[in-house]
């Protein structure tokens, strides 16, 4: 039986996407910048389902209704757009735990969009596949290409100018490594989707953060192009701190970080003060992503492994583009 399988990598935002100017088209209120993470990926297989309904598997088991719901919603959009109505059998495997702030929806929807494009022979360009993936989960548009990605917010109501650009490919900065520290593998209590709309509607700092953060985009691009680690560290840290303020002033407040998150952050701050090049960010979850140079990876791992709260530590390089698996 014909199948199409695609692999796409998770991406972690250095400059965050948090809020939509259009919730149907999933258009962001601001631009964002991310990097692909090589050890965090989703592989998704699409084939026709013999029954007259869709079936969705997650890591080999029938998906829970709460996990499958966003995929069903995406399939409605896909079918309306392409006039395709075949019942589908979709099987997704993640190399990491799902929905704990490790960007599984980004890698999952990017892999699904790529697999659907191949399965139905749609011949979409990467930019169009990214725009399709975005309808499943906004940040998924940054996972069709690897390396460093810039998602331009655009201003048009139809979203045609909300496009992704690859700032640099996975080969650009081979010395860089990413350490993902897992402290909590549970599903987050408030999804990014709900959390970002709450922040937009209630945080008094939201608009000033959006404006200030948008202005840093050219600085992020320059730091990445020049492989200027110190500037990238400073920019990412400033961005994370102001985004945390938005989360804390959302009503009710969004507490994605946990005491274990802060222990890791304190450790990284100390390593940084001792002269080790490293910086961190988190997504909407308690886990921490640390960026450093390969020469420091062992020192950082050895320091973090002394913390009891760590469940696991995943070492990555910068991910390549999403691709079809034969
Ligand atoms: O794509 P979503 O709806 O899962 O939102 C992702 C939001 C963050 O991961 C927190 C930030 C980002 O830019 O990826």
- What are residue 36's DSSP bridge partners? 11
Among the atoms of ligand 1, which is closest to the Cα of residue 140?
1
Residues in the chain: 326
Counting ligand 1 atoms within 8 A of each CB, the residue from 138, 197, 242, 288 with the most, and so the one to mutate, is: 138
Cα–Cα nearest to 247, from 293, 294, 283, 289: 283
- Assign residue 123 a region: left if phi > 0, alpha if psi is -120 to 50, beta otherwise? left
Q: Which residues of 120-151 are buried (b: 16+ CB within 10 A; e: fewer)?
A: eebebeeeebbbbbbbbbbbbbbbbbbbbbbb
- Assign residue 78 a region: left if phi > 0, alpha if psi is -120 to 50, beta otherwise? alpha
> How high is the mean pLDDT in each 10-residue block of the chain (326 residues)?
96 98 97 97 95 92 89 97 96 77 83 98 98 97 98 98 98 97 81 95 98 98 98 98 98 94 96 97 94 96 91 95 95
* 258 DSSP assignment: -
CA of 81 to the centre of ligand 1 (A): 24
Q: Would you state the pLDDT for residue 308? A: 85
Which residues does a 6 A CB cutoff place in the pocket of ligand 1? 13, 16-18, 32, 103, 105-106, 137-139, 192-193, 283-284
CA of 17 to the centre of ligand 1 (A): 6
Q: Would you state the pLDDT for residue 186? A: 73
CA of 43 to the centre of ligand 1 (A): 19
Q: Would you state the pLDDT for residue 98? A: 58
Q: Would you state the pLDDT for residue 259? A: 92
Taking the C-alpha atoms of residue 108 and residue 94, their distance in angstroms, rounded to an integer, is: 8
Among the atoms of ligand 1, which is closest to the Cα of residue 151?
13
Contact 318, 36 (CB under 8 A): yes
Q: Would you state the pLDDT for residue 151? A: 98
Q: Model's pTM, two decimal places?
A: 0.96
User: No. of H helices and E strands in the chain?
Assistant: 9, 14
Three-state secondary structure call for residue 62: strand
CA-based end-to-end distance of the chain: 14
CA of 123 to the centre of ligand 1 (A): 27
Q: What is the pLDDT of residues 89-143, one digit of tens each?
A: 999 999 976 555 566 799 999 999 999 999 999 999 999 999 999 999 999 999 9
Q: Would you state the pLDDT for residue 1? A: 83
Residue 282 to residues 239, 256, 286, 318: CA-CA distances in angstroms? 11, 9, 7, 17
CA of 324 to the centre of ligand 1 (A): 24
Helix (H) or strand (E) holding 238: helix 229-248
Among the atoms of ligand 1, which is closest to the Cα of residue 283?
10
Residues 6 or more apart whose Cβ sits within 8 Å of residue 43: 5, 6, 7, 92, 93, 111, 325
CA of 106 to the centre of ligand 1 (A): 8
Handedness of CA 254, 256, 262, 268 (dihedral sign): negative
Q: Would you state the pLDDT for residue 37? A: 97
Task: Specify the residue with its C-alpha closest to ligand 1, atom 8.
Answer: 283
CA of 291 to the centre of ligand 1 (A): 18
Q: Measured at the alpha carbon of residue 146, what is the angle toward residues 244 and 318, in degrees to the nearest 5?
A: 75
User: Nearest 10 degrees: CA dihedral of 69, 34, 203, 255?
Assistant: 70
Residues 6 or more apart whose Cβ sits within 8 Å of residue 257: 244, 282, 286
Q: Would you state the pLDDT for residue 103? A: 61
Counting ligand 1 atoms within 8 A of each CB, the residue from 42, 187, 284, 287 with the most, and so the one to mutate, is: 284
Q: Would you state the pLDDT for residue 69? A: 92
């Amino acid at each position: 039986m014909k199948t199409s399988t695609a692999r796409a990598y998770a991406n972690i935002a250095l400059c965050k996407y948090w809020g939509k100017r259009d919730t149907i088209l999933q258009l962001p209120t601001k631009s964002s910048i991310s990097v692909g993470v090589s050890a965090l990926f989703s592989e998704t297989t699409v084939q026709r389902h013999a029954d007259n309904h869709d079936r969705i598997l997650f890591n080999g088991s029938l998906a829970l209704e709460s996990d499958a719901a966003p995929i069903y919603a995406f399939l409605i959009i896909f079918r309306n757009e392409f006039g395709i109505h075949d019942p589908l059998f979709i099987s997704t495997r993640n190399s990491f735990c799902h929905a704990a702030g490790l960007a599984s929806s980004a890698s999952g929807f990017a892999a699904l969009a790529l697999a659907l494009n191949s399965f139905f022979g749609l011949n979409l360009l990467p930019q169009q596949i990214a725009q399709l993936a975005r309808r499943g989960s906004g940040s998924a548009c940054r996972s069709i290409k690897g390396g460093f990605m810039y998602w331009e917010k655009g201003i048009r109501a139809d979203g045609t100018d909300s496009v992704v650009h690859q700032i640099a490919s996975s080969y650009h900065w081979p010395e860089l490594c990413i350490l993902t520290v897992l402290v909590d593998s549970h599903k987050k209590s408030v999804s990014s989707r709900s959390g970002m709309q709450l922040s937009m509607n209630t945080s008094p700092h939201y608009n000033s953060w959006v404006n200030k953060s948008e202005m840093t985009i050219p600085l992020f691009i320059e730091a990445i192009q020049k492989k200027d680690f110190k500037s990238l560290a400073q920019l990412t840290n400033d961005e994370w701190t102001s985004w945390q303020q938005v989360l804390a002033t959302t009503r009710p407040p969004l507490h994605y970080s946990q005491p274990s998150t802060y222990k890791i952050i304190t450790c990284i701050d100390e390593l940084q003060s001792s002269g080790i090049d490293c910086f961190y960010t988190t997504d909407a979850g308690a886990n921490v992503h640390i960026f450093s140079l390969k020469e420091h990876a062992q020192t950082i791992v050895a320091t973090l492994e002394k913390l009891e709260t760590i469940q696991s530590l995943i070492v990555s390089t910068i991910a390549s583009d999403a691709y079809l698996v034969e």
